[in-house]
Amino acid sequence: QVQVVESGGGLVQTGGSLRLSCTVSGLSFDDYGMGWFRQAPGKEREGVACISWSGGSTYYEDSVKGRFTISRDNAKNTVYLQMNSLKPEDTAMYYCAAEHGGLGFPVLEDYEYWGQGTQVTVSS
């Protein structure tokens, strides 16, 4: 049984930082591209940052470039999202997802396994 578990969300002030973690079990983590997606109330889910199965390719949504960093630790079956200089518009539920053979593209339909999400709230 595949499990995708996010952690690290919370309430932070504008300009602050958070590090999200996502630990996956039940699959061969090395074979999966990983993605972080977010969904704010009334908005569609969007790709924030993705990383290929090899770790050699990454994607960032334009609004987070230079502020967020995605990384993976295959020894720990974990992917991270370091979020700096947070803004109120970053407030959303953040989801982690896994795509077999993923090359690091933010196509939601390609991701087979999803976590339950972790809430990030940035106060102004």
- Residue 27 binned pLDDT confidence (cut-offs 50, 70, 90): very high
* Percent of the residues in the chain that have a pLDDT greater than 90, as a whole number: 100
> What average pLDDT does this structure show over 77-102?
97
Structure-token pair, residue 85? 């200089």
Quick: pLDDT tens for 94-113.
Answer: 999 999 999 999 999 999 99
- DSSP letters, 25-36, are ESS-GGGEEEEE
Could you tell me how far CA 123 lies from the centroid of its own chain?
20
Q: At 109, list the tokens.
A: 């339909």
The mean pLDDT value for 16-43 works out to 97
Cα angle 1-83-104, degrees, rounded to a multiple of 5: 50
pLDDT at 52: 98
Each residue of 62-79: pLDDT tens digit? Answer: 999 999 999 999 999 999
